Structures are given as structure tokens and as C-alpha cells.
A and B are shown apart, each in its own frame.
Chain A
Amino acid sequence: MSEKYMWVTCRTRMKRKCQNYESRLPDNTAVKQQQLPAFRLQLTASEILSGFFAIGLFCLGMGIILLLSAKSIKEVEINYTEKCATCAKLREEATNFDKECNCSISFYLPQKMEGNVYLYYKLYGFYQNLYRYILSRSNIQLVGADVKDVRNCAPFRTSDNGLPIAPCGAIANSMFNDTIVLWYNFNSSTHIRVPMVRTETAWWTDKYVKFQNPAFQNLSSAFAGTAKPPNWPKPVYELDENDPGNNGFINDDFIVWMRTAAFPNFKKLYRRLHRIGNFTEGLPAGSYSFIINYNFPVSRFQGQKAVVLSTLTWSGGSSLFLALTYVEP
């Protein structure tokens, strides 16, 4: 027993408390009595069947429409991994990076491509979705806030002499750097270079929000104290010296590359047809050739690359797949 006592003296003060004791009855609402009106479908057999057929018809219709629209898309894809075998061989050795290699591929366009024509490059077996690859970039650097912020860019953080790389990281370093030029062989002697626009290939938000050059009068001085990515032949501020709106971090080719692909086989927009002169209507039928400055090594990772010419419709690119999912059993 504890020895703690509590002493109390008492004073009397009688006080009568009277309060109404309210019973706490639940109120009788539909929610509480679970009598909420419920909508339930009461379908009969015929309703199911008809509904089913209706949806079947809808899908069939959608499928046919999609199919037709996909069929109307003209697309040319030329895989030039094999065709430029010499160049590919050359690029297998990393030491040959400064040797130029050009490759010409001719093809015949049987039907004209009407409307806007887009030029893509397509890579097979290139895993832009590798975890560490995706992480290896500096968004703070790319938005122009701090050119020297290379924290997340391992293993392409600094150059051999210790300067921070701009743009740093594996994604930037591995940027696709073939140059593709399309020639229209009007006749055996006249070759016209097909006019292409190199801007407005990236998303608006990428170009104007996510990617910004550092605020400096002179772009090259803005990047002073940084090094170019090891794989690049020239620094970032020389990507497009003719157009200051397309140079540095806001270069469209660069931005397109930086938006990583989800799948190992992907195509990225490279150029848009500039519809002037002979090409106001689109690409006329005839003989063409691609002149490709072959820089990007793919055989080292057993990959392949291709060049794609395509038109677009409302339903997107030239994909029969969507249409087929609707139509085929």
C-alpha cells in the first residue's frame, strides 16, 4: 500500500443542476438508412445483344475509318545501317571520331507526298530508357539557371581537365549527330536540295520553358568555363550559328533528343518540309537521294538506324496498329 493520503475538507454548497437530457437519436435520412436511390441497369437479353452489336459496329466503323486514314499516310523508311557499311565500320572504332564519312542513298518515290512532310531519324536498339541514362542530365543547367550545375550528370560531369560539361550527362553526350540532307533528282543532271525547316520540331513548353540559354549577351561567353560533351565535335553554342533562336540549349535538334524515348526503337522528328517552289504541294513523285554525314555509331550497340519520310493525319502517325486493334478479332 502506498502511503500517500489525500486529505480533503468539505464545504457544503448544494446546487441542483437540471439539464435537459437530449437523447441522441440518429436522424432518419436516406443516407443513414441506406435508401439512396440507386441506378441499376436492367438489361434484357435483347438489349445486351443489340448493345453488343452496336458497339461491335461502332468499333468496326472506327476501325475502318482509322484504317483508311492510316492507309492514306505515305511513309518511306530507309534503313541505312547496312547501306552505309563502310561508314559503319569506320565508326566502330571510337578513335576515328574525327574522320568524316558521307553516304548517299537513292530511292524512288512512286507517288507524291501531299501536304506537310516530316523527316525523321529512327533508331533501333537504342535504350534511351535506361535508368541511369535518363537520370544523367541537369535540368537546372538546361533551364539556364546555372551552367555549372552538373550534379546529376555522372558519368559525364566534367571533362578531363576538370571543367564542367555543358550540356552535361549521358543523354546530351549521346546526341544524334548525323546530318541528313534530302536531294530531289529532278533529272539526271539537276539535283535540287529539298528545302527543310529545322525549327519547331520540339514541344512548345520544352523550347520556351524547360530549355533556356543562360542570360548573356554573347552565347559563347555564357558558356565560358565549361567544356563540350566528349562525343560532340563542337560546343553547344555552335549548334546553329546562323539562327540565334536555335542555338545553344534551345536548339531544336538538341531538345528533341533530350526528350527521351520510352522504347528502344524510336523515331524522332528531324526536319519539316519547307513548302516553297517545287515543293509547295508536298514532295512530288520522282527520284530522290539522301546524303548522310555518318557520325552516329550504332553498330557498337548492335543497333540500327533509319531515315523516315512521312505525312500525318488527324489520327497521328502512320500506324496501322490502332486501326487493326479495332478491326481485327
Chain B
Amino acid sequence: MFYPLLSCNQILCFPLMFPEFRRLTFYLSTHSTAKYSMWSFLPRYLYLQFSKTANAFFLFITILQQIPDVSPTGKYTTLVPLLVILVISGIKEIVEDYVSLLLVNALKNTALNNAWQMILWKEVRIDFDSISFVLFFFSEPQATCFVATSNLDGETNLKIRQALSETATMKTEKQLSNLSGKIKCEEPNFHFNSFAGTLYLNEKSPISIGPDQVLLRGTQLKNTEWILGIVVYTGFETKFMQNAVKSPLKRSKVEKVTNMQILVLFLLLLVMSLVSCVGAIYWKDRYRAEPWYIGKNYDYHSFGFDLLVFIILYHNLIPISLLVTLEIVKYIQALFINWDEDMHFKGSNVYAMARTSNLNEELGQVEYLFSDKTGTLTCNVMTFKKCSIAGITYGPHCSDPQWQFSGSWKRLISCVPFLQPTKEYIKEFLTLLCVCHTVVPEREGNNINYQASSPDEAALVKGAKKLGFVFTTRMPNSVTIEARMSIIVRTPEGRLRLYCKGADSVIYERLSENSLFVEETLVHLENFAKEGLRTLCVAYIDLTEIEYEQWLVMYKKAITVVKDRMKTLEDCYDSIEKFLLLGATAIEDRLQARVPETITSLLKANIKIWVLTGDKQETAINIAYSCKLLSGQMPRIQLNANSLEATQQVISQNCQDLGALLGKENDLALIIDDGKTLKYALHVEVRKCFLNLALSCRTVLCCRLSPLQKAEIVDVVKKQVKAITLAIGDGANDVGMIQTAHVGVGISGNEGMLATNNSDYAIAQFSYLEKLLLVHGAWNYFRVTKCILYCFYKNVVLYIIELWFAIVNGFSGQIIFERWCISLYNVIFTSLPPFTLGIFERCCSQESLLRYPQLYRISQTGDIFNIKVLWIQCINAIVHSFILFWLPAKMLEHGSNFIVFCVCVICMLLFCLQFTHFAIWGSIMIWLGFFAVYSSLWPTVPVAPEMTGQVSVAHVLCPFSLSVSYRIRNTCHRTLLEEVREMESSGVQVLRVLISVTRMFTVHIYLLTASPCFALSDGYAFSQVERAVISQEELVRSYDTTKNKPQKTFSSATLE
């Protein structure tokens, strides 16, 4: 029953009971709300479709065709393919939406009758994806529950929600079933911290409901057995959705170029129409009047009318099927990414997910990679590895793999029972680790699981547990939370003690003068950081009863202060925090599997990697070393300045030092120490200089950045270099940069789903990035670009023929091909080859792409698809169409009299692809079948009288079959030149060179022999030449990558 309630704001519905689940997570599902409903589908869909320029253009043409006498191609020949396109793309939309529809249906089904139902969480989960604002009545143990709101506001600590006292007693179903009333609540809004509602229970006075009684969508229930609640907001009404900034619509570079090219084709169309109009005028002028055989009492058509005729005649130059082909192709490419077993993380059973299919080919062009550190490069699984207590380090040595209880850990434990000078300190230290945190214990039999807001804390508590200090229960309200964490405890002996744990800088500020081990611990801290460990300092102080009482009074006053409460509280805390240093902890965050290998191969692929982290510089550098981002001999430039002037000076100094190397890629690492320096560096005056410096470095490391700065730096680089940027991260603090970058990749890790939900692609491990970029990216790029080129080519080649024909028919607007053949050419006869190109094309095998990341540069530079290539392709197509028209024309001039040629067949073959012969032969069969059927229709069905009997004229095919053989040969050449890359890349290094040299040589010979000596007609020779040149370039380019090798000079010489 809650489905119908989706749209009201004042609702009451059945409480749902969720037994037997540990962690209730309200996930945000991407398809939580279907895009279309049953009724809105058609209007909405049509609106979306016709807001695309190309579709609108074809609609316009269709309307033009309805004007009597204008259209040389009949009234419905554009309408039908357009409908076909719309239907296909509609089916695709429905399929995409189908999942969501299912969800909605499931929702309806779960709410069948007005009854309470006990539903397992597993089943309810789907519902809660969309219904997500739960006002909860009550929970246990003290009508409270813990929630984590990190997905909403980024705060990692647990928060407490408490049920209304009026309903807190209602635990049984009977009590609840007697409950009847209504809830009135405020209109949906996006403020997370406010909620106002009133509960009217029958026969009771109204009770007000505040934010403390509300579970927002996106929060995570922590260590709470079950809750009872009422849904108040659903779907887009939830605060989560109200807050969700529509992630910016990202469009790929290729798409932009394509749109541009469609525009260019439109101009070409206009030019052709104008030329034809002028031709028509010239023709009429030459014959002064129409020849006698056409009849005299005809009106002359105006120039404008002729223009319309020719626009309709040539309008198919713009490939009608391109957009829908691309949509489907990209959809399937995205499915390939989703299906990839190599990107399946067995650990959490998570597959890679392409959340958008717009950017598939963009993955093949990434040049700058911005990576988060924690959780992205590392596992974000913390282990308590070392500590320094009272000036002595405990923990395994770096090289010791058996770290946990071996070596000095044992010594640490064994210290406790013995009388040693540091014994007391060790005890205090471990007690502190046990007590001073926000971790919530969760009992499960004899085991205790710890639920922590930050993995660091869990690591410390677990570490302490292993050392014998077990943390078992927690009472609410007894933990004080602050930037650093302090806690006041009463020890069993009755003494009051203040424990504190926090970042070194914070703790050191607050140490009292008589604190011991300050120097030693500082040295240890530095050592820990150098090893890539995360450090915390711990300290304590004993309080007297009087001090405590005084402080308590102050504290109570402070928390009731309305104005500047935070400030007052802080002062209050500071007043008693004069610590004695105990020591420091060091936590290791291990690197994810295969991170160094991945980074190495990404670097080889000419991808520049920037690490943007909130962590401190030593840790970041260390991680960078261990993942091979930095190497020992790599010179480092370190930026750390406190003012704008200083920053400016340092940067310009460094720029000067680089001199001529500035702007080139150097084997340098740039390290920015903190966010402050970056802030100055990105200042308008310094920015350009800074970017020059940063872009000349191979690796850039930015530490201590805020989420906003991460996004800012991505934005700045994106604008400056005009290259494709990719941002990868796992936490809420990475969302900004993920949304800013051209491509955002989210790692579905420990830190919630926010990054994943805002990303374009979600993967489970950093190392999957390698396959995602080098294989899927490169493949998709090749596929999409070839598909586009093919679509342009096939249309240009066919419809330019109309122009040639116009020359011999006096620019009268006569069509050369039968009208339905033209209109179905795109949607039926030549629909399969682009699909197979887009889906199955492989530039080379997966293994070679992974083994030779250098191959990525081919797609990265985008040289195989830009305006120039498109133009070459168009010119190529024009030449081919010239041949296709004039060759048969000259051949047939002597004998035959046809108005319709079977050129379609040939056109289909011209640009054939490698291995999916099915598509080619399928297309030919379709054409021949269509041809046979279509031409026998008249007079039974009143269409196409001029086609009648053409099938029987077998000799039409005779000369053409020869041309077919040409085309197949052409195909072979194409394949081969593609193959070069694979061959050379899979070959042995030395062999590679040899082969390539021979090949280049061959190509040259080939060029020489091709044109003058042989009997190939020019067009084919041309096409070979053209292909050869492209491939040669590619070949040389892929050689340049082996720069250090001796053959470098040779290959570049060949390039000249």
C-alpha cells in the first residue's frame, strides 16, 4: 500500500518490521526511479528524441516531403526509416528502463493488503531503494539506534537516533496494530539537519517529531538489531534525492566531433543543393526552354522550390541511423564492461559497472589520471602495526612478514606482567586505546565485532584486543567527540583520568611542559610516516576531583550557550587539556593488489598520474614509492610555502630551473605539501606558471587537500590541457573530482556508495583500471570511431552518386536509386556492418594491449578520429562514389538502359570489416532477398513498377560481381594493415624492428607499384594508399614508445 502514497507528503502507512539483520543499509540505487511511466513514455520519449538535432532534421524533411510535388522520393520514404529508428531506440529505452519498472512492480507487490507483514531485509531492500525516508518509531535497546551519515554529510562518526518516548514502549505487533493515527510533516526539502512533523495518535495529544526521530535515506544503520518505522518520504521526496545535484551530463570528445561533422555534412548538403540549383538554371538556360518531349505547359519552378527538391534528394547524406547505432553499440559496450570476469572482485563479488555508456570511447583517450590515495590505491583496511610507548618503539621490523605477534610485540605483551620502568606507561597506553574511541562493540556469541566510524579506530581497538585489552560494552552518552578525541574516565581505583588521542600536530600543541619522551616520540613519528604508516599521538592527564567539578560546571554552561556554542566548548576543553605524552600509534593501510604493476603500465601508456590526497605528505610520498609512482632516482620538486608571494617565487624559480625542459614531459615528481600551498598556487596570477610546472612533471602528488580542492585542481587541469582527464576515488570526499573530470571512476570500497553513485564507471579494485582503460577503453575507441567513420562513409558514398547522376540528368531532381531502396539503405541493408564494427572490432588482442601499454597512445592522441580524418574519409568516399557511378555508367552507356543500379550491394561491401562475415554476407543476402521480393511485387502490390523484372536481368550482376571481388580484396588489405600492430607488438623486440622495416619498405614498394603498373582502377588503389599511410603513421608512432632503445633513431628517420 505504500506505493500510492508516493506522492503525498502527509502520510501514514504500516510500520515495517525488519528482524534478523545486522547492518541495515539504505542504498541509493541508480535505477531507483524509472525514467518513464506507462503514460508518460510516448510524449517524453518523443520529446527527447526530437530534441536531438539529427532527428529533428529528419522530421523536418518528412514534413517537407508532404508538400505536393516537392519530393522526388515520395511522401513517406523518410518517415519510415525515421519510425524504424525511433522504434529501435524506443525498445532500447524500454529495455534500459525495464529493470526500474520491475522494481516498481516489486514495490507494488509487496504492499498487497492492509496487513502487517514480517519481511526479511533481503526482500525489503529493493523497496528501500526507493522508499527511503523512514521515520522510526522505536528501536532497541533504549529506543535508540546508531546511524552513520557519511554518505550524506561526510562525517564519519556514528550518530544516535532516539524514538519518541510515547512510542518507545511499543515493541509487540499487538501494540502496533492497535496504533492508529496520522502524521503531518513538512514539505520535502534538502536540509539534512531539520525535520518538523507532528504525530497525531488517536485519543492522544499531538506529539512533535524532530530530526532525532528520523532516519534519512542514505544513512546506514549500525549495530542495531531492528527498527520499526513509518515511511514518510519516498523517491525524489527524500532529502537525499533533493540534495542530489544532477551529476553534470558528460559528453565525450568523439561525440562532439561527430556533432560537428554532422553540421559539416549539413553544410555539404546545402552546398550540393545550391550547386544543383545553379546547374538546373544553367541547364534550362542552355536549352532555353524545356525540350519538346517534356511538354510545354509546365510552370517553371522557382529557385527556392528547386532548393527544397534537392535538399530532399540529398538529405540522406546525413546518416539517419548513426545516432541509434551508436546508442546501441555503446549500450552493448557497457554490457561488455559489466560482464567482464577480469574485473570481477571475488572478495566482495562485485563486478565492474558502467553507469553511463556515453563515455565508453573516452576511456581510450585518458591522458591525466587523478587518483585518491586512501581506499583507492590502498585497501583502506587498517592494521595496527607499530607503536611507540614512552620513547620505545614496538612492532615488527619492516622486512618481517610475520608481524603480528612475533618479535617485539611479544616483548610488549610480556612487559606488562613484569616490573619494568615503562610498564605503567604500556598499561596506560593500551587502556587508552581501549577506551578512547567511538567504536561500538557488537557481540556475537563469544566474538566481539567492532563497528567503527573510521577504520583507524577499529584497527587500534582490535590491536589492543589482541594484546589482551578487550573492549566489550559501551553505554551511550559516555563518549566525547571532537576533532581530537578526549575522554574522561573514572578508573576502578576511583581516580579521574583524561585520555586523548589525535593527530601529532594537535597533541603536541597541548602537551604540558613536564611531558616526557617528546623528542623520542617525534623521531619515531617521522620514522613511521616514512614507512607509509598513519600515525596518531596519545596522551593522558590525571584530573583531581576539584578540577573535574569545575570543568563540569563550565562544560554544562557551555553546552547551553546558544551563541558561539562551539567556540565556548572548545575553550572549555582547552582549559583542562594539558597532556602528558604517552606515545604514538602507527597504522598500516596496505596497498591494493597489483597497484604498482597497474601504475607502471599506466605510466607506460603515457597516462600522467596525479595523486590527490587528504593525507599527510610523508605518508603520501611513501605510498607513492611503494606503488612505484616515484622511484629513488627521480628528482623531486617540493612546494611548500605560506604566502602567495613565496609560492609565486618558488614556482617561478622552479620554472626557470627547468628552462627549456618546461612544457615537455620530464622524469620529475612534483609534490605539493599542503592545501594551503595549492590554494596559493591556483591563484589567478600564479596558476599559469604552476600548471606549466606541474604539466612538465611525470607525477604530481598533492597532499592535505580538501574535497573542493581536489575538484578544483581537476577542473583547472581539464581546462588547461584540453586532454581527457579521469578521476578515481572511493570516498565522499572524491565526489567532487569524480564529477568534474571527463570520466569519473568510483571504487566500490569501504567508504559507502557515494563515490560509486556519482561515478561514470564503478570498479572494485584500482588494478581493474588497467583493463578498463587499456583494453575496454582502446577497443571502445576504435569501435566507436570506426563505426562513425563507416556510417559517414557509406552515406556519403551512396548519396554523392546522386550528385553525379544529377549532372547527366539535367539537374532535374531525378533519383538514381529506387526510392525505397534509398530509404531502407540505412536502416536495413547497411545496418549490420556498423553494428558488428561497433561491437566486435578489435584493434588488436587483449593480451597485446596489456603487454604493450604503449599501444594506448594510438587512441589517446585521437589521431585516428578528428575532423581531418573525417574529411579524408569524406573525400575518399566522394572518390569512391565517383568511381562507382562513372565506371558502370561508362560500361553501360553502350548497351543497357536502366534507371536503377544495384550499387547498394557494392557500397555495402566497400568498407568491410574483419571477421564478422556474417554481417556482410547477411547484408548482401538481405539486399538480394529484398531485391527479389520487391521487384516481383508489381502489379500485385501497387509499388515499385520500375523495379519489376530486374531480378531476371542477371547480367547486371555479372560485371558487379567482379567489383565485389575487388572489394573483398580491399578488405584484406585493410585487415592486414591493422594487423601490423598486433604482429609487431606480439613479436620479439628485435624481430619487431625488422618486420616493421620490411613492412614500411613494402608499403613504399606497394605505393610505387600500385599506382602506375597495375590494372587496378584508381579508386581501389587510392583506398589502399590511404589506408597504408594511416597505418604507417600508427606504426611509427607505436615505435616511438621504445625511446630508449637503439632503434629509435632509425624509426624516426623513417618517419621523416
Does B887 have its Cβ within 8 Å of any Cβ on chain A?
Answer: yes
Q: Closest A-chain residue to B298, C-beta based?
A: A155
Does B939 have its Cβ within 8 Å of any Cβ on chain A?
Answer: yes
Complex interface bits, B929-944 against A, C-beta within 8 A gives 1, otherwise 0: 0000000001100100
Cβ-defined contact, B809 with A127, below 8 A? yes
Q: Which of A296-329 contact B (CB under 8 A)?
A: 297, 300-302, 315-319, 321-322, 325-329
Does A215 have its Cβ within 8 Å of any Cβ on chain B?
Answer: no
Cβ-defined contact, B962 with A62, below 8 A? yes
Query: CA A201 – CA B362 in complex, angstroms?
Result: 61
Cβ-defined contact, B293 with A317, below 8 A? no
Shortest Cβ distance from residue B80 to the other chain A in the assembled complex, whole angstroms: 21
Does A106 have its Cβ within 8 Å of any Cβ on chain B?
Answer: no
Does B988 have its Cβ within 8 Å of any Cβ on chain A?
Answer: no
Cβ-defined contact, B1016 with A34, below 8 A? no
Cβ-defined contact, A34 with B979, below 8 A? no
Known contacts A12-B174, A34-B336, A318-B894, A325 near B1017 by CB under 8 Å: yes
Does B502 have its Cβ within 8 Å of any Cβ on chain A?
Answer: no
Cβ-defined contact, A42 with B180, below 8 A? no
Cβ-defined contact, A39 with B114, below 8 A? no
Does A159 have its Cβ within 8 Å of any Cβ on chain B?
Answer: no
Known contacts A1-B184, A56-B1014, A134-B814, A13 near B120 by CB under 8 Å: no
Does B915 have its Cβ within 8 Å of any Cβ on chain A?
Answer: yes
Does B969 have its Cβ within 8 Å of any Cβ on chain A?
Answer: yes
Could you say which of A1, A19, A39 contacts B914, with CB atoms under 8 Å apart?
Answer: A39
Does A55 have its Cβ within 8 Å of any Cβ on chain B?
Answer: yes
**Partner-contacting stretch, out of A20-28, A183-191, A274-282, A284-292:** A20-28
Q: Closest B-chain residue to A55, C-beta based?
A: B969
Q: Which of A142-199 contact B (CB under 8 A)?
A: 143, 145, 154-156, 170, 173-174
Known contacts A12-B177, A13-B117, A45-B998, A4 near B8 by CB under 8 Å: yes
Query: CA A166 – CA B174 in complex, angstroms?
Result: 94
Q: Which of B777-822 contact A (CB under 8 A)?
A: 779, 805, 808-810, 812-814, 816
Does A81 have its Cβ within 8 Å of any Cβ on chain B?
Answer: no
Cβ-defined contact, B182 with A131, below 8 A? no
By a CB distance below 8 angstroms, the chain B residues around A261 are: 897, 899
By a CB distance below 8 angstroms, the chain B residues around A156 are: 295
**Partner-contacting stretch, out of B734-742, B870-878, B949-957, B1029-1037:** B949-957
Does A7 have its Cβ within 8 Å of any Cβ on chain B?
Answer: yes
By a CB distance below 8 angstroms, the chain B residues around A268 are: 897
Cβ-defined contact, B173 with A17, below 8 A? no
Cβ-defined contact, B293 with A170, below 8 A? yes
Does A133 have its Cβ within 8 Å of any Cβ on chain B?
Answer: yes
Does B340 have its Cβ within 8 Å of any Cβ on chain A?
Answer: yes
Shortest Cβ distance from residue B974 to the other chain A in the assembled complex, whole angstroms: 9
Could you say which of A8, A17, A28 contacts B123, with CB atoms under 8 Å apart?
Answer: A17
Cβ-defined contact, A10 with B179, below 8 A? yes
Query: CA A165 – CA B297 in complex, angstroms?
Result: 16
Does B840 have its Cβ within 8 Å of any Cβ on chain A?
Answer: yes
By a CB distance below 8 angstroms, the chain A residues around B890 are: 319, 321
By a CB distance below 8 angstroms, the chain A residues around B894 are: 267, 317-319, 321
Cβ-defined contact, B813 with A131, below 8 A? yes
Does B418 have its Cβ within 8 Å of any Cβ on chain A?
Answer: no
Does A108 have its Cβ within 8 Å of any Cβ on chain B?
Answer: no
Complex interface bits, A195-210 against B, C-beta within 8 A gives 1, otherwise 0: 0000000011110011
Does B328 have its Cβ within 8 Å of any Cβ on chain A?
Answer: no
Query: CA A154 – CA B845 in complex, angstroms?
Result: 63
Cβ-defined contact, B938 with A209, below 8 A? yes
Known contacts A129-B812, A174-B293, A205-B952, A5 near B182 by CB under 8 Å: yes
Shortest Cβ distance from residue B1026 to the other chain A in the assembled complex, whole angstroms: 16
Does A32 have its Cβ within 8 Å of any Cβ on chain B?
Answer: yes
**Partner-contacting stretch, out of B595-603, B700-708, B1001-1009:** B1001-1009
Shortest Cβ distance from residue A3 to the other chain B in the assembled complex, whole angstroms: 8
By a CB distance below 8 angstroms, the chain B residues around A316 are: 895-896, 955, 958-959
Known contacts A10-B179, A12-B115, A38-B842, A130 near B8 by CB under 8 Å: no
By a CB distance below 8 angstroms, the chain A residues around B339 are: 26, 32-33
Which residue, of A19, A130, A173, A322, has the highest number of chain B Cβ atoms within 10 A? A130
Cβ-defined contact, B1015 with A59, below 8 A? yes
Query: CA A56 – CA B1015 in complex, angstroms?
Result: 6
By a CB distance below 8 angstroms, the chain A residues around B892 are: 262-263
Q: Closest B-chain residue to A230, C-beta based?
A: B295
Does B983 have its Cβ within 8 Å of any Cβ on chain A?
Answer: yes
Cβ-defined contact, B1006 with A48, below 8 A? yes
Cβ-defined contact, B1016 with A2, below 8 A? no
Query: CA A329 – CA B972 in complex, angstroms?
Result: 22
Does B206 have its Cβ within 8 Å of any Cβ on chain A?
Answer: no
By a CB distance below 8 angstroms, the chain B residues around A99 are: none
Cβ-defined contact, A45 with B999, below 8 A? yes
Q: How many A-B residue pairs have CB under 8 A?
A: 283
By a CB distance below 8 angstroms, the chain A residues around B295 are: 136, 154-156, 170, 173
Shortest Cβ distance from residue A181 to the other chain B in the assembled complex, whole angstroms: 23
Does A63 have its Cβ within 8 Å of any Cβ on chain B?
Answer: yes
Query: CA A34 – CA B176 in complex, angstroms?
Result: 55
Q: Closest B-chain residue to A7, C-beta based?
A: B182
Q: Closest B-chain residue to A132, C-beta based?
A: B294
**Partner-contacting stretch, out of B9-17, B137-145, B151-159, B490-498:** B9-17
Cβ-defined contact, A321 with B180, below 8 A? no
Does B47 have its Cβ within 8 Å of any Cβ on chain A?
Answer: no
Could you say which of A6, A19, A262 contacts B897, with CB atoms under 8 Å apart?
Answer: A262
Does A266 have its Cβ within 8 Å of any Cβ on chain B?
Answer: yes
Cβ-defined contact, B915 with A259, below 8 A? no
Q: Closest A-chain residue to B776, C-beta based?
A: A34
Cβ-defined contact, A204 with B949, below 8 A? yes
Known contacts A41-B976, A209-B938, A262 near B816 by CB under 8 Å: yes
Q: Closest B-chain residue to A265, C-beta based?
A: B893
Cβ-defined contact, A15 with B914, below 8 A? no
Cβ-defined contact, B8 with A6, below 8 A? yes
Could you say which of B813, B939, B952 contacts A145, with CB atoms under 8 Å apart?
Answer: B939
Does B116 have its Cβ within 8 Å of any Cβ on chain A?
Answer: yes
Q: Which of B1011-1056 contact A (CB under 8 A)?
A: 1011-1017
Q: Closest A-chain residue to B841, C-beta based?
A: A38
Q: Closest A-chain residue to B13, C-beta based?
A: A8
Query: CA A248 – CA B59 in complex, angstroms?
Result: 45
Cβ-defined contact, A63 with B1015, below 8 A? yes
By a CB distance below 8 angstroms, the chain B residues around A18 are: 120
Does B338 have its Cβ within 8 Å of any Cβ on chain A?
Answer: yes
Query: CA A289 – CA B13 in complex, angstroms?
Result: 106
By a CB distance below 8 angstroms, the chain A residues around B291 are: 126-127, 300-301
Q: Which of B3-24 contact A (CB under 8 A)?
A: 5, 8-14
Q: Closest B-chain residue to A64, C-beta based?
A: B1015
Complex interface bits, B963-980 against A, C-beta within 8 A gives 1, otherwise 0: 000000100100110110
By a CB distance below 8 angstroms, the chain B residues around A23 are: 349
Complex interface bits, A22-54 against B, C-beta within 8 A gives 1, otherwise 0: 010010100011101011111101001101100
Cβ-defined contact, B119 with A17, below 8 A? yes
Does B640 have its Cβ within 8 Å of any Cβ on chain A?
Answer: no
Query: CA A209 – CA B953 in complex, angstroms?
Result: 15
Shortest Cβ distance from residue B360 to the other chain A in the assembled complex, whole angstroms: 13
Cβ-defined contact, B117 with A15, below 8 A? yes
Query: CA A56 – CA B846 in complex, angstroms?
Result: 36
Query: CA A249 – CA B292 in complex, angstroms?
Result: 23
Does B118 have its Cβ within 8 Å of any Cβ on chain A?
Answer: yes
By a CB distance below 8 angstroms, the chain A residues around B635 are: none
Q: Supply 9 A–B pairs (Cβ within 8 Å), ascending by A.
A: A10-B115, A52-B1014, A62-B962, A126-B291, A127-B291, A133-B294, A210-B945, A262-B897, A321-B891
Could you list which residues of chain A lie within 8 angstroms of chain B, going by C-beta atoms? 1-2, 4-19, 21, 23, 26, 28, 32-34, 36, 38-43, 45, 48-49, 51-52, 55-56, 59-60, 62-63, 94, 126-127, 129-134, 136, 139-140, 143, 145, 154-156, 170, 173-174, 203-206, 209-210, 259-268, 297, 300-302, 315-319, 321-322, 325-329
A-B residue pairs, 8 tightest by C-beta: A205-B949, A317-B895, A174-B293, A155-B295, A59-B1015, A131-B812, A129-B809, A301-B291
